[in-house]
Chain A
């Protein structure tokens, strides 16, 4: 645990200048991830730039096209319980509320949630190698304890999973991440925000070192009637997902007009397979069709031993989540993840 300098900035421009003045500087928003990592000696910032005073990033705004913009500093709890989100994007509310604890959701910000690091045990132990923490040092999880690790999109350099629940819903909703850097702003489609490990597992996402997330846009859609977020974990609450599924449909009677399926806990990023979604289009909503879609989503899945169980678990979880999404009873407030 190192000592660090602290600076509070109240505009995006000055916060970017501050963080770009020192290559070991970092933003701090809710602090729930960076303080934890600092205490474990996994991250050693020389300067923390507190962005909580940037008021323009603290609002939820309805957009003219029917979409919604989440400011990067809006708290996870405030997002989940916001009346507009509950109405237009209940899948997002449900996914957020499946994550962490009430106290942490009161602290964590929407921008920070996208940037949380993996919970891989080797990443969290500074005394062992880890390609994500120390590039080139190796990956003990490949042939070690890998019960929580990835089954999709792996490389021989890293099998860590990205742990966010909120981001699984954002992937299914095709959110867009708005960022600001020294050279202006750009918008990143959600599917391109997080990345697969490849030979650079130290990079979790495509945000540049000198950029800040300013907001997340949710495009207008009709996925608020038939949806669910199913999270499977070692205990009923307050644990990270082993496998999670965000499923949402637009239906015409029993016919699927549009399908979205995203998985958490299985890869280095929220996992989507648009082919499986295309397959379901125009099909009748039956367990058999969902099983074909599930096989499609899991195409190429590979276990590394302890995590082999995740493949059948994910297959069944997809089918069950899709069935749940059709059933309004599972969507009443407070409904548990069961049928």
Chain B
């Protein structure tokens, strides 16, 4: 599961956004809305529940800002039950 993106490291290059096959991430304008300049772009986790933990984003991040943990939950109805 994607856990966090360290925004102090992220330079908004946008690579991870393209790498994610399930489209979990988006690039967004960050910063204080009342400050006009300089505005920066950052990667944001928008759809965390759609992450399938493949780590492609983290592998591609050139500043190693993305943390993907091994935690994973298989939705319980899919485990064999009576």
Answer whether A and B are interacting partners: no
